[in-house]
């Protein structure tokens, strides 16, 4: 059904769509997402199948997708101006492309086919953004509920893509309720309400009935927030002074603490290189280990560091290895676990920030590697692990041991990657990050809120140590139990329960994205087949 709209009405609808899409990331509510795409679908319905109208619709779609990205992620500019430009372009091409395919199909195919293509195509685009070489899945629709965790407790079954599917279905049903004929309108209104309310009711029931195992032992965790300005203090303050600040903060932990967590890349700068084959020779690691052994002999320190791994045989070096004369080595953004073990316990960051820590399609773009920007204390192509590592601590309070994982910064945006730590045995999650590069903007707040979703998806306690904030503790239901805000130096301590059973989503990963990808491909193939048969007068 085609509706009539004037240009100024289309502009108002496009601006309304931008606002409704953005509010979930601007600390208002993600509930506006349920109607956020309806204005854009109305604009599509106001055009016919002509080429001129196709390009007009492409303009409105680009405005909405680009405006949504800029309104919510403009803060990337502080770290790298090119970053927000690149993110906006990809957002327009990827998700705008899906919307334009829907627009094309809506004029030439049955409505159910067009809607299926829209929903499946959007899920495919999100899955590609989560798992592709060029990856910035910040605006996955399901992430918009990070401030409304009471409504998405069922993410333990679906992950954030389940929230995206929910949003897309409700938008399509509401749109049909608006533009459909009177005989069907009531049915679509009822279907919209059912699709909206049932998941909320299920979430409230899950949240109200969730309980940690009775009598389970609790681990005492201290998170440290040193508040080193990454633009100035980190590189102008002598290493000895920074270590003195760190040890003084560590010293505020209770004597019976089990874990002390420090932020991403807080040690291991250029003047204090940490080589993984001789880490105890490093000044910062050796000093932290000595302090731990004296003050907290039964505790484990989890600390973010820049580390180096040398390759005695360059022929066996990884594709990301660097060369300096005869020296061949990899550089890592890593988490170290210090507990008196002579063998270095290290976990390397594996989900790297595109354009900051890695060059996508490296084999093709290797000549441009020097264009990679500097952020988070990391420059250039970093090395990665092909598998996830967890840390293990055994002491008098945990004679049978407890396993923890330390996802680093950007890794907390990826639900399947985060949850896989749980399937690998991690009982407590310790997110270490440095969000100071974005200044006092929505960036670090959004990043913190994503950990609330990850806690629900994996049903694990999240202990978050951020250099400049926000540090804190998040329960398995996504509740923020303690937090230390922006630009504050200090520490927090909390008793948390190690939990062993992985959730369905942690084991299955982003299966909704995979299913959406398969269905999108089938929808495209079906459309081609349908058009061929119609051209040959085999169908009406």
pLDDT in tens, 225-252: 999 988 888 778 888 899 999 999 999 9
Task: Return the pLDDT at 365.
Answer: 53
Burial tier of 214 (Cβ tally within 10 Å: 0-12, 13-18, 19+):
exposed
Hey, which bits of 326-405 come out as E strands? 327-338, 345-348, 374-375, 378-379, 391-393, 402-405
- pLDDT above 80 (res 342): no
> May I ask the CATH architecture of the domain 219-508?
4-Layer Sandwich (3.60)
- pLDDT above 50 (res 293): yes
Residue 365 DSSP SS3:
helix
Hey, which bits of 396-461 come out as E strands? 402-405, 428-433
479-495 pLDDT tens trace: 999 999 999 999 999 99
What is the rounded average pLDDT of the residues 377-394?
Answer: 77
Distance separating alpha carbons of residues 110 and 53, to the nearest angstrom: 19
Closest C-alpha to 107, from 531, 536, 532: 531
Task: Return the pLDDT at 88.
Answer: 95
Task: Return the pLDDT at 374.
Answer: 41
User: Helices 38-45 and 81-108 meet at what angle, rounded to 10?
Assistant: 50
Task: Return the pLDDT at 537.
Answer: 59
* Residues pairing with 294 in the sheet: none
What is the rounded average pLDDT of the residues 87-112?
Answer: 94
* 475 close to 481: Cβ distance less than 8 angstroms: yes
Residue 447 DSSP SS3:
helix
Distance separating alpha carbons of residues 483 and 227, to the nearest angstrom: 14
122-166 pLDDT tens trace: 999 999 999 988 888 999 999 999 999 999 999 999 999 999 999
* 38 close to 171: Cβ distance less than 8 angstroms: yes
* DSSP state string for 129-161: HHHSSS--GGG-GGGGGTT-GGG-TTHHHH-HH
105-133 pLDDT tens trace: 999 989 999 999 999 999 999 999 999 88
Residue spans per domain, the chain: 7-210+510-535, 219-508
* 412 close to 447: Cβ distance less than 8 angstroms: yes
Dihedrals phi, psi of 344, to nearest 5 degrees: -65, 125
Rg (CA), the chain: 25
Task: Return the pLDDT at 28.
Answer: 95
* 337 close to 302: Cβ distance less than 8 angstroms: yes
Distance separating alpha carbons of residues 76 and 83, to the nearest angstrom: 6
* 189 close to 177: Cβ distance less than 8 angstroms: yes
Cβ atoms within 10 Å of 430's Cβ, excluding its own: 27
For 210, how many CA atoms within 13 A lie in the half-sphere containing its CB?
20
Task: Return the pLDDT at 316.
Answer: 81
First to last CA, the chain: 18
Task: Return the pLDDT at 424.
Answer: 93
Residue 220 DSSP SS3:
strand
Task: Return the pLDDT at 335.
Answer: 95
- pLDDT above 70 (res 373): no
Q: What is the pTM of this model?
A: 0.92
- pLDDT above 90 (res 379): no
């Amino acid at each position: 059904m085609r509706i009539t709209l004037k240009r100024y009405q289309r502009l108002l609808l496009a601006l309304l769509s931008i606002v409704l899409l953005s509010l979930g990331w601007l600390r208002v509510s993600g509930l506006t997402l349920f109607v956020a795409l309806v204005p854009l679908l109305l604009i599509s319905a106001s055009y016919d199948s002509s080429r001129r109208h196709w390009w007009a619709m492409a303009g409105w779609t680009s405005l909405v997708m680009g405006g949504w990205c800029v309104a919510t992620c403009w803060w990337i500019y502080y770290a790298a101006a090119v970053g927000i430009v690149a993110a906006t372009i990809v957002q327009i091409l990827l998700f705008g492309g899906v919307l334009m395919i829907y627009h094309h199909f809506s004029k030439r195919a049955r409505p159910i086919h067009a809607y299926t293509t829209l929903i499946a195509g959007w899920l495919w685009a999100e899955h590609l953004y989560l798992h592709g070489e060029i990856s910035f899945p910040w605006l996955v629709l399901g992430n918009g509920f990070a401030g409304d965790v009471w409504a998405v407790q069922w993410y333990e079954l679906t992950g954030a893509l389940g929230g995206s599917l929910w949003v897309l279905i409700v938008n399509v049903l509401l749109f049909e309720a608006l533009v459909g004929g009177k005989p069907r309108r009531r049915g679509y209104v009822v279907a919209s309400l059912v699709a909206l309310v049932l998941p909320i009711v299920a979430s409230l029931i899950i949240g109200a009935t969730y309980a940690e195992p009775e009598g389970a032992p609790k681990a005492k965790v201290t998170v440290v927030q040193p508040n080193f300005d990454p633009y100035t203090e980190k590189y102008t303050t002598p290493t000895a002074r920074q270590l003195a600040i760190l040890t003084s903060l560590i010293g505020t932990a209770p004597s019976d603490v089990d874990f002390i967590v420090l932020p991403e890349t807080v040690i291991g700068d250029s003047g204090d290189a940490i080589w993984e084959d001789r880490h105890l020779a490093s000044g910062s690691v050796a000093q932290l280990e000595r302090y731990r052994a004296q003050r907290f002999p039964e505790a484990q320190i989890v600390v973010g560091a820049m580390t180096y791994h040398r390759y005695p045989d360059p022929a066996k070096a990884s594709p990301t290895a660097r060369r300096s004369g005869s020296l061949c080595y990899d550089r890592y953004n890593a988490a170290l676990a210090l507990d008196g073990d002579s063998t270095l316990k290290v976990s390397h960051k594996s989900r790297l920030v595109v354009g900051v820590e890695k060059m996508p399609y490296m084999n093709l773009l290797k000549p441009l590697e020097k264009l990679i920007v500097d952020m988070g204390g990391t420059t250039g192509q970093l090395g990665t692990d092909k598998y996830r590592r967890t840390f293990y601590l055994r002491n008098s309070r945990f004679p049978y041991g407890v396993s923890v994982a330390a996802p680093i910064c950007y890794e907390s945006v990826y639900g399947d990657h985060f949850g896989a730590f749980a399937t690998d045995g991690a009982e407590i999650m310790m997110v270490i990050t440095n969000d100071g590069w974005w200044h006092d903007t929505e960036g670090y707040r959004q990043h913190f809120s994503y950990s609330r979703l990850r806690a629900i998806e994996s049903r694990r306690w999240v202990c978050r140590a951020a250099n400049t904030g926000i540090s804190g503790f998040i329960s398995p239901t996504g509740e923020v139990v303690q937090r230390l805000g922006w630009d504050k130096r200090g520490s927090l301590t909390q008793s948390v329960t190690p939990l062993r059973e992985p959730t369905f989503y942690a084991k299955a990963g982003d299966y909704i994205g995979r299913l959406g990808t398969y269905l999108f491909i089938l929808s495209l193939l079906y459309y081609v087949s349908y058009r061929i048969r119609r051209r040959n007068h085999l169908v009406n």
